Every structure is written in C-alpha cells, then in structure tokens.
Amino acid sequence: MSNEFIRQEMNVTGEGFLPGLAIDAVIFGFHDAQLKVLLLAYKNTGFFALPGGFIYNNEDVNEAARRVLFSRTGLTDIFLEQFYVFGDKSRHDVAPLKTIMKARGYEPGDNHWLLGRFVSVGYYALVDFTKAIPTPDSISDSCDWYGLDELPVLMQDHRQIVDKALQTLQANLDHKLIGFNLLSESFTMGDLQCMYETILNKKLIRAAFQRKMLSLGILERIAKKWTGGAHKAPYLYRFKAQTPDNVIIDP
Amino acid sequence: MSNEFIRQEMNVTGEGFLPGLAIDAVIFGFHDAQLKVLLLAYKNTGFFALPGGFIYNNEDVNEAARRVLFSRTGLTDIFLEQFYVFGDKSRHDVAPLKTIMKARGYEPGDNHWLLGRFVSVGYYALVDFTKAIPTPDSISDSCDWYGLDELPVLMQDHRQIVDKALQTLQANLDHKLIGFNLLSESFTMGDLQCMYETILNKKLIRAAFQRKMLSLGILERIAKKWTGGAHKAPYLYRFKAQTPDNVIIDP
C-alpha cells in the first residue's frame, strides 16, 4: 500500500503493474542526535503512511524501491535494502483505502485492484536528512520527518513495518555501518558513538566503544580536528574505501 | 517457481492462489561434517530445482513456506526464515517451464498463469538431515540431498538463490545459532567448531573459537562426555533455553 495508490485509482484492474505486490520504504534519517522516519499524510483523512508504491510489469522489484526513494527524497546512491516481506492475510484491510479514495471523491467498486490483498516487500534506507528533499505528491498534504518517539498512528500495519525495520537496523549496525549514509565524510569517534547510542537507544561506554569500532577494521584515521585547544583535539575518521554488498549504487 | 507448479497446470488462471508470487526454500542439512541442500529432480527433463510453491489466497506467505517445508521433509518446528525477494524481471524465463509441462504431455497456452512473471520469496531452513524424510511428489523423480560442492545445474535462478541463502547463513551464524536445528541436543565444543568450519568453509583456531562461543552467552555446560580416558573427556554443552525471534514454531 502506498502513496501512489490513488494515482492508480482510475486503473481499475491494475493494468501495467505486478498484481498484488507493493513495496513500502522505511527511510531513516539521522541528524542532531535524532533518528527520524519519513512519512506521508493523506489529504482529508488524518492518515499517515510510509512512502511506497507498486512495481511496473517491466521493472525489477529493487528498481521500484529506488524509484520510490528518489521520488520522495530526490536521493540516489543510497543504502537501500529489503528487510522483510509482509505477507500475512490479516493485513488485508480495505477500510482505510476506501476512506482515502472517497476523500478524493472516488467511489471504488469492490473488485477494484487496490482493494485486493497485497503482499508488501519492506525496504529500509538510511540518509543524512539534511540532504533529502521530502516531496509529497499531488494527493498527500505533506511528506515529513517524524522522530521515532513521536510517530503518529500509521495506517494498516505500517507501524509494525517501522518497528521491524528498526530492529533490522539495530541488528545490522556493525555489519552494514560502512554502507550507511548517516554521517558526513569525516567524523569523530564521538560523532560515531552518538549515532550508535541514538540508533540503539542506550548509552555506551566510551573506551569499549572505541576499541570495538577500531577492531572492525573499517575506519581510517585522517587528522586531528582543530579545536583551538590542541591537547584535547579529537581525531577525525572516515570509512575505508570499499563498496559493501548491499549498497544499491545505480539510481 | 516450484515443484508444485505442474499440479497447477490444469488451473490455467491460477484461481485460488496469489498471482505472480511464489516461494522457494533452500533447506540446508548438516551431517557428518557436510552441508547439503535438498533438491527435486523433474521427471524426463534433467532439471533440478529447489522445493517451492505458491501461496493460497487465504494463507499467510510464511504459512505457505512452512507447508512446503513440511511437504518435502515431514518436519515442523524448524528454523525457517525469509532471506531475500527475488524480483528481477530477468528471471522470467518460460522455456524450462514449458519443457517440464510438455514432458508431462501438457501443452500450455501462452497466457497460462505459470508462464507469467513470478516474484519469489526466498526462505532458508536448517535441519539435521537424519531427521528429515525427503519426499518427492508425483511429478518429480526424486527429492534428495546434494552436497554444496556437487550441486547439479539448477533451473532458472535457483543457483543464485542457493548462493544467497548460504551467504545469509554464514553472516548470521553467531546471531541465529541458537535457533538452528543443526546439532543434537548436547554437543562438544569440537562438534560446534566442526559445524562452523563446514558452514564457513574455513579452519578456525580452537582456543579463539571456544572463547568467542562462550562469550556469546548462549551455551550451558552440562557434563563431561565419558570417553574412557577421564583426563581428556570434553565437556558437553547445550543451548540455553530461549525462543529466538525468528524460529517459526507452529507448523
């Protein structure tokens, strides 16, 4: 289910799209020690939802995910990864979809393709939210960042999708760190620790954290950050150059 | 795509199933220091394929995966997890499907649902292969274990599916170990190291391995194994009781 679905409301049979399949994207942004998620608000309904979309007949599923990410943020070259297929029959719930369509003055028939059962492939992405340009489309009021602690009620099973994406992010943090686009090109160990603490939602011990990070072998020390007081200047680091498996490079 | 598809060959429109969606299962078995995979051989075609199937309209996607696992092995209560959605348009290749259907004397029309584009949800499972009862269905010659080093050529993109499942297994070994059903209830550190070495396909240093395993906090030492020579008797271990997130318990 997605923001795109009303654009398809006149396409009663879903011609041109893979039947019964959607993607939903949990786009995390990290900034100022906060982890946020990009949400759309539907006009005249009070509904909030994840960005998402459908897959064209002649499009790869991963391509559709990149297209959605680009449409909603203007970003390409971003870490974007499948994390789970939401395929329970219980997620089939036509009520909110009918409400959204009716709020636009459209009265769908019961066999409208958007009212059928959909399986959704969940993707998560990580971006520096100063670089994203959140972009609503013609049928949403807004596309905006919401702190994880202050999410509005989300339609259908989108809250579960966010929670599962967060668990995946937390579990994969060490493993996928280098592919994440959450930090500037260079950063201090303190910046990195702050990001970890925010994502894991707990305090970490500085010495142990530094030891662990250095043992991962993915950091390169580049210079001391000039702070005026030389004896306290922290080192700057950057990630060693390499392309991790899961970064989807081509837009 | 799957073993089941010929059973559906008379169902030209795919009535009763989710359209365009399949599951494929990479079922790993570990025994005698070997990692094997369960494959089906189709009659009169020379084609080998992963066990798989389709999803009923009124069935969860995960439920369909458990049904396939049970049908091909007789096993329930097994670690079974989604690992990737294979959704590239390039995997749409009707030739082998037509061959299999023709080998059974069935000549499908071009708009037969089985000849359309399918997206497949990949699952992997881990079993003690002494406990599985590989079960072909009426249209396959055999359902058997094949060593990873000696896999036959697989149809469509099934070799890629196996490779990706193996990468996932290797990457998740520490994290998911407790949920795996690859060892007997109790085992020595040597048994565990042998399993690791087989799955990772490399030798590990004994002392470092033991230190790492104990640091994971998931092992419980239960007794010394009696070997006759008391001073060399290795300890037996078992996994601490807990239900990991991803074990799908209900058959």
B200 and B104 in a single domain? The answer is no
Residue B24 maps to a domain: yes
Q: Which residue of A has its CA nearest to B90?
A: A60
Residue B212 Cα distances to A19, B94, B193, angstroms: 47, 48, 11
pLDDT at B195: 87
Residue B82 at interface with chain A, using a CB cutoff of 8 Å? yes
Residue B249 maps to a domain: no
Residues 6 or more apart in contact with residue B22 via CB below 8 angstroms: B1, B2, B52, B53, B54, B55, B118, B119, B120, B121
B212 and B166 in a single domain? The answer is no
pLDDT at A24: 97
B34 and B103 in a single domain? The answer is yes
A48 and A152 in a single domain? The answer is yes
CA distance A194 to A200: 10
In this structure, how many other beta carbons lie within 10 angstroms of the beta carbon of residue B175?
A: 14
Pairing of strands A80-86, A34-42: unpaired
Name the 3-class secondary structure at B43: coil
Residue A132 Cα distances to A28, A51, A127, A245, angstroms: 11, 14, 7, 23
Helical segments of B38-130, H only = 61-73, 95-103
Name the 3-class secondary structure at B11: coil
pLDDT at A110: 86
pLDDT at B74: 92
Choose the final residue of a domain: A119, A140, A171: A171
Q: Which residue of A has its CA nearest to B56?
A: A89
CA distance B220 to B239: 6
A164 and A192 in a single domain? The answer is no
Looking at the structure of chain A, the number of domains it has is: 2
A233 and A136 in a single domain? The answer is no
A121 and A228 in a single domain? The answer is no
Residue B203 maps to a domain: yes
Q: Which one of B21, B67, B81, B92 would you mutate to disrupt binding with A, by most A Cβ within 10 Å of its Cβ?
A: B21
pLDDT at B4: 55
**Whole-number mean pLDDT of chain B?**
85
Summarised one tens digit per residue, pLDDT across range A88-137 is 999 998 888 888 888 888 888 888 988 999 999 999 998 877 888 998 87
Residue A62 at interface with chain B, using a CB cutoff of 8 Å? yes
With beta carbons under 8 A apart, name residues in chain A contacting B62.
Answer: 87-88
pLDDT at B173: 83
Which amino acid does the sequence have at B161? I
Residue B140 maps to a domain: yes
Q: CA angle, corner B13, sides to B10 and B14, nearest 5?
A: 80
Q: Which domain holds residue B110?
A: 3-171
Choose the final residue of a domain: A148, A171, A194: A171
Rounded to a whole number, what is the distance in Å from the CA of A88 to chain B's nearest CA?
4
Which sign does the torsion angle of CA B66, B70, B72, B78 carry? positive
What is the count of residue pairs from A and B with beta carbons less than 8 Å apart? Answer: 58
Q: Is the pLDDT of residue B248 over 60?
A: no
With beta carbons under 8 A apart, name residues in chain B contacting A62.
Answer: 87-88
pLDDT at A145: 94
Choose the final residue of a domain: B171, B197, B213: B171
Which amino acid does the sequence have at A182? L
Q: Is the pLDDT of residue B212 over 60?
A: yes
pLDDT at A245: 43
A190 and A222 in a single domain? The answer is yes
Which residues in chain A land under pLDDT 70? 1-9, 138, 178-181, 225-232, 241-251
Helical segments of B124-177, H only = 158-171, 173-176
Identify the band that residue B1 occupies on the pLDDT scale cut at 50, 70 and 90.
very low
Summarised one tens digit per residue, pLDDT across range B29-60 is 887 788 999 999 988 888 999 999 999 999 99
Q: Which one of A15, A17, A58, A60 would you mutate to disrupt binding with B, by most B Cβ within 10 Å of its Cβ?
A: A60
B164 and B203 in a single domain? The answer is no
Residues 6 or more apart in contact with residue B26 via CB below 8 angstroms: B37, B50, B122, B123, B124, B125, B161, B162, B165, B166
DSSP secondary structure letter of residue B202: S
Name the 3-class secondary structure at A223: strand
Q: Which one of A85, A124, A176 would you mutate to disrupt binding with B, by most B Cβ within 10 Å of its Cβ?
A: A85
B24 and B117 in a single domain? The answer is yes
Residue B179 maps to a domain: no
Residue B250 maps to a domain: no
Summarised one tens digit per residue, pLDDT across range B163-210 is 999 999 888 887 777 666 677 778 899 989 998 898 888 899 999 999
pLDDT mean over B74-92: 93
A47 and A164 in a single domain? The answer is yes
CA distance A207 to A119: 45
With beta carbons under 8 A apart, name residues in chain A contacting B171.
Answer: 175
Residue A153 maps to a domain: yes
B82 and B195 in a single domain? The answer is no
Residue B216 maps to a domain: yes
CB A50 within 8 A of CB A154: yes
pLDDT mean over B1-27: 79
CATH code, domain with A139? 3.90.79.10
